[in-house]
Amino acid sequence: MEMMTSRERVLTALDHREPDRVPASIWCTVDAYKMIRKNLGLEVKDRYPVGSTTWTQDVSAEEDVVEKLGADLIRINVSPPGGVGFREIEGGLLVDEWGVVRKRVEYKGGSYLDIVKYPLENATVRDLEDYPWPDPADPAVTDGLMERAQWLRKNTPFAILLQCGRGGIFEQAKYLRGYAKIFEDFVGEEEFIRALFNKLLQIEKEFNRVGLEAAGEFVDVVRMSPEDLASENQTFCSPSMFKQIILPYYRESFDYTKTLFHRKNPNGKIQFHSCGAVSYPFMEGLLEAGMDVYDACEVKVKEESRPVSFKQKFGERLSFLGAIDVQWTLPFGKPEDVRNEVRERIKEMASGGGYILSSSHRITPDMPFENIAAMYEAVREFGKYPIR
């Protein structure tokens, strides 16, 4: 087959047809990004703009990294109101644009952020009205976004993914209310949950609107705010609770975003993220609500929810992004293990298109660069269609 450009490769795959080879994507934390740049012999800055959500400390990889690794999909994102993301308060604690307070926790070899204060832990429905919510209309949210998207379209061969939202609905509710408390709410405080979800839905829609108005015409995929719906073994609630309490908000968010997006790009796709063992009834609900692409396809989960099972069950209607294991293979395996996994995953996922290869979650700085390089080399080696 004649060689395709990166964008043709991605769009063909997302159209459920086989491109010249399996396309690839990159998603990494800022510390991992610096490590990758250094290893690729590229200049490393002290700071990079905040990526998908403030707290995840991820970064939208720039075109030089995407090109050198041989990936095909480049990400841009809406920025936090005020442009900064975290504000530091007493004791070195960090407050994000939602008012969630985090602490930097040191471990051997790095640090990460964890929540020390859930601002709505004891809130009532009435408190939600007076809460200082982030403002999607703040000019910093889309500052430079249109120019960046336009430049990338004109000067690079990559397909473009726009990371919208800046927190999400169920996901952000967990951070505002607390993990333990939110699950109790599902049983006893349904009125509060609905009021909180509704507030978060309005904000999500607004972030998506301003992002799409700025850059929609140059964008191929819109990724909604990431939402985690499951642990490795089980969804966070029953299918009936999901359908009654959570899904209606996703449906409205997908509908609204897709309608706006299709005005700018009629072929645009909606991408949705969850970690964990999302089950068939959840996937059916999300598909029916309008999900086109599902990431990041965690590997070490119960059998029904593994990438290969989803491909078999939903592959004709749904595309997948991710599926290279971040729990063992990338951090602890050898490059040979990575190659083997890429080869196996391509066999499982790539037939008929509908698969973009990437790590099954963010690349973190504990992953040896050799393993990351091996992943992108292996997709070039084993990803050529027809897959053997």
Q: Whole-number minimum distance, CB 88 to other proteins, in Å?
A: 19
Where in 143-202 is the site for other proteins (CB under 8 A)? Answer: 179-180, 183-188
Q: Which stretch binds other proteins (CB under 8 A): 105-113, 118-126, 265-273, 340-348?
A: 105-113
Measure the CA–CA gap between 370 and 374, rounded to whole angstroms. Answer: 6
Angle at 48 between CA 43 and CA 50, to 5 degrees: 160
Q: Which stretch binds other proteins (CB under 8 A): 6-14, 81-89, 307-315, 327-335?
A: 327-335
**Which burial class, exposed, middle or buried, applies to 245 when counting CB atoms under 10 A from its CB (0-12, 13-18, 19+)?**
middle
Q: Whole-number minimum distance, CB 179 to other proteins, in Å?
A: 5
Count of beta carbons in the 10 Å neighbourhood of residue 255? 14
CB environment 65-96: b (16+ within 10 A), e (fewer): bbbbbebbbbbbbbbbbeeebbeeeeeeebbb
Q: Which is nearer to other proteins, 319 or 364 (CB)?
A: 364
Q: Whole-number minimum distance, CB 363 to other proteins, in Å?
A: 11
Where in 114-133 is the site for other proteins (CB under 8 A)? Answer: 114, 116
Measure the CA–CA gap between 371 and 119, rounded to whole angstroms. Answer: 39
Q: Which is nearer to other proteins, 145 or 367 (CB)?
A: 367
Q: Of 56, 150, 198, 234, which lies in the binding site for other proteins, with binding defined by CB under 8 A?
A: 234
Cα 237 from chain centre: 21
Q: Which is nearer to other proteins, 246 or 260 (CB)?
A: 246
Angle at 254 between CA 251 and CA 257, to 5 degrees: 145
Q: Whole-number minimum distance, CB 54 to other proteins, in Å?
A: 18
**Taking CB under 8 A as the rule, does residue 112 contact other proteins?**
yes
**Taking CB under 8 A as the rule, does residue 92 contact other proteins?**
no
**Taking CB under 8 A as the rule, does residue 105 contact other proteins?**
yes
Tokens standing for residue 177: 């209310």
CB environment 121-131: b (16+ within 10 A), e (fewer): eebeeeebeee
Contact 25, 358 (CB under 8 A): yes
Q: How many residues does the chain have?
A: 388
Where in 240-299 is the site for other proteins (CB under 8 A)? Answer: 241
Q: Of 364, 372, 374, 383, which lies in the binding site for other proteins, with binding defined by CB under 8 A?
A: 364
Q: Whole-number minimum distance, CB 250 to other proteins, in Å?
A: 18
Q: Which is nearer to other proteins, 108 or 126 (CB)?
A: 108
Measure the CA–CA gap between 78 and 50, rounded to whole angstroms. Answer: 9
Q: Which stretch binds other proteins (CB under 8 A): 107-115, 117-125, 146-154, 345-353?
A: 107-115
Binding site for other proteins (CB under 8 A): 103, 105-110, 112, 114, 116, 179-180, 183-188, 231-238, 241, 300, 326-328, 331-332, 364, 366
